Amino acid sequence: MTRRITDLRRLFAALTMTGLLAATGPGAALGQGAASLEEITDEMSSESTWGFAAGEAATYSVAIGRFRIGEARLAIEGLEPSGDKDVVQTTLTVDGGPPFFRVEMYLSSWAETGSMRSVRFERTMREGPKRYRDRYVLDHESGTYTAERWSEDLEAFEPSTFEPSGAMPADAIDEIAVLYFVRTLPLQTGDEYVLERYFKPHSNPVVVRVLKREEIRVPAGRFQTIVVEPIIPELGAFQAKKEPRVWITDDERRIIVKLQTSVPVGPVALNLTDYEEGSPSPE
């Protein structure tokens, strides 16, 4: 049972960097058949890059085989000003695990609407009896990020003693912002993307391969999808040997409808159960 609990904890942690990781710009490599790097870079750096609707929300069931063990939700909370730029807040919530070892995770990202680079990322976790809250502030002027942890005694964030602050790649992004980043890309069968822009350098590179198109059925309905394979060395659930897969709708919405990996007790899947379109995209 200890092995199973550990696998569940790793799975929920892995959800923060699901197999949708891909990027353009510095450090990105394109496979045969993709649009040119210059074309994608120009598109991603334009002020119209953010094309998703505020209020958009996707809900998923989390299951091992036939057994449902939790629920996840990915949502766009809204647009807010930050200095001379606008940022969009997005969140990922995961709640699940066996009754005797609950896992609750709340992730929140703030990313610029034009470049989609991250400016702040927060993580609140509960793993059984353990609870913690981390914050990362990304300073693109200095090219560094600051890691902080919430102090119950001070009732404020303070420099983290669990991980160091440090240098980050240019135009760095966090694990939630990247989920939306990939949805803007021209995913074609045979394409391969290599990401060198995750804000923690030791977690780079992340490779995403576009495998095929496939029609699938999930609780929310039947969808024509693009299947991608994410390879994320730092996360056990998304190592190549686990054969991770992500299904994204093959239309202008690019909805994430299914994610799948494997653990020793069997295949683990997130299946879309509900989707809300949201209001018109921020300009």
What is the C-alpha to C-alpha distance for residues 14 and 44, in angstroms, rounded to an integer?
A: 26
85, part of any domain: yes
Q: Rounded to an integer, what distance in angstroms lies between the CA atom of residue 211 and that of residue 191?
A: 8
Q: Please tell me which of 41-50, 141-150, 167-176 the model is most confident about, judged by mean pLDDT.
A: 141-150
Q: Is the pLDDT of residue 242 over 70?
A: no
17 φ, ψ (degrees, to nearest 5): -135, 60
CA pair distance 133, 236, nearest whole angstrom? 22
Q: Is residue 212 part of a domain?
A: yes
Identify whether the C-beta of residue 67 lies closer than 8 Å to the C-beta of residue 157: no
Question: Of the candidates 49, 55, 140, 127, which has an alpha carbon nearest to the alpha carbon of residue 91?
Answer: 55
**283 located within any domain:** no
Q: What whole-number distance in Å separates Cα of residue 264 and Cα of residue 3?
A: 8
Tokens 């092995």, residue located: 3
Q: Which residues pair with 94 in a beta bridge?
A: 72, 105
Q: What is the pLDDT of residue 13?
A: 41
pLDDT for the residue 116: 87
- Percent pLDDT > 70 in the chain is 76
Q: How confident is the model at residue 240 (pLDDT cuts 50, 70, 90)?
A: low
The structural domain count of the chain equals 1
Overall average pLDDT of the 175-202 stretch: 86
- pLDDT mean across residues, the chain: 78
Q: What is the mean pLDDT of residues 29-55?
A: 48
CB count within 10 Å of CB 6 equals 14
Question: Cβ atoms within 10 A of the Cβ of 85, count?
Answer: 11
Omega cis (within 30) before 81: no
Centroid of chain to Cα 201: 16
Q: Which two tokens stand for residue 117?
A: 């680079």
In a domain, 117, yes or no: yes
Give the CA-trace dihedral at 173, 34, 232, 19, to 10 degrees. 80
268: tokens are: 């683990």
Asked whether the predicted pLDDT for residue 29 surpasses 70, the reply is no
What is the pTM (predicted TM-score) of this model? Answer: 0.77
Residue 153 pLDDT: 85
Can you tell me the distance from the alpha carbon of 139 to that of 172, in angstroms, rounded to the nearest whole number?
9
Taking the C-alpha atoms of residue 240 and residue 258, their distance in angstroms, rounded to an integer, is 18
228 is in which domain, residue-wise? 2-274
Q: Does the residue 66 lie in any domain? A: yes
Burial 159-188 (b: 16+ CB within 10 A, else e): ebeeeeeeebbebbbbbbbbbbbbbbbebe
Say if 281 falls within a structural domain: no
CA 160 to chain CA centroid, nearest Å: 23
Residue 234 has pLDDT above 90, yes or no: no
Domain presence at residue 128: yes
Contact 49, 184 (CB under 8 A): yes
pLDDT at 48 exceeding the cut of 50: no
Q: Does some domain include residue 279?
A: no
CA distance 99 to 70: 10
Q: What is the pLDDT of residue 238?
A: 55
